[in-house]
Amino acid sequence: MIVRLQTEPFEPGALLTDFCRGRSETGAVVSFTGIARASAGATQALELEAYPGFTDAEIGRIAEAARTRFGLDDLMIAHRIGRIAPGEAIVFVATAAAHRREAFEAADHLMDYLKSRAPFWKKEHGPDGARWIEPTARDLADAERWD
Amino acid sequence: MARVLLFGRLADIAGWRERRLDSLPARLSSLKALIAADDPRLAEALAAPGVQAAVDKTLVRGDMALAAGMEIAFLPPMSGG
């Protein structure tokens, strides 16, 4: 299981290739890549702040719980921190399980957690300056589906 | 040496993200009062709903006793990624 926070851009295809390698008992791998949106020019960059040692530990705890809950063989989470330009991948989640249903559900669950409850602080830089963003009602409702 | 960390909007309001203190007050509530003593905007932001504290990278609820060398972080509502 890998949980990684990084300031450098990553290439989701390469992460998926590595994640799939050498699996003979895994029947299903599901991956999700989130990409920073420009929102028609309203967002020039996202800035994501984490608390090193706390943010990764909290995400690791949720990842471990998800591995048990969905009976996963393995999972991987890579998350950008720092300044992220539109078009760049911001998050990558991959789940591996014997069968597809568990892999799909675990990836969905992990993304709902990461989008609304993970300890990040997100700032949006736009033409009119910067503002701090909080989860949308939709993000919060999505996360509640798993409680 | 103790460390006090601010994140997100709290750091922007205060104009600092990290402070080192030779000694800590006895309780978390007194530390909050101390760091915001000369900054009413920070005092207001720290009292806002949803602001949490972590001591040595563990979330804590309510007031608690502090000891030398601890790392205390004040965390505004988390946004997710």
Phi and psi based region of residue A18 (left: phi greater than 0; alpha: psi -120 to 50; beta: remaining): alpha
Tell me the chain B residues in contact with residue A134 when contact means C-beta distances shorter than 8 Å: 77, 79
Domains along the sequence of chain A with CATH: 2-144 (3.90.1170.40)
**pLDDT, tens digit, for every residue of A60-78?**
999 999 999 999 999 999 9
Instruction: Give the DSSP H or E segment for A51.
Output: none
**Interface contact flag, B79 A51, Cβ < 8 Å:** no
Tell me the chain A residues in contact with residue B81 when contact means C-beta distances shorter than 8 Å: 34, 48, 79, 90-91, 114-115, 118, 120, 122
Domain B2-75, CATH among 1.10.10.10, 3.10.20.30, 3.30.9.10, 3.30.2130.10:
3.10.20.30
With beta carbons less than 8 A apart as the criterion, state whether A36 and A85 touch. yes
User: What pLDDT score was predicted for residue A52?
Assistant: 95
Confidence of residue A116 (pLDDT cuts 50, 70, 90): confident
Task: Provide Rg for chain B, Cα atoms.
Answer: 12
**Interface contact flag, B73 A54, Cβ < 8 Å:** yes
Distance from CA of A16 to the nearest CA of B (A): 20
CA distance A102 to A74: 11
* Beta partners for residue A93, in sequence order: A32, A77
Q: Which residue has the tokens 């990461």?
A: A114
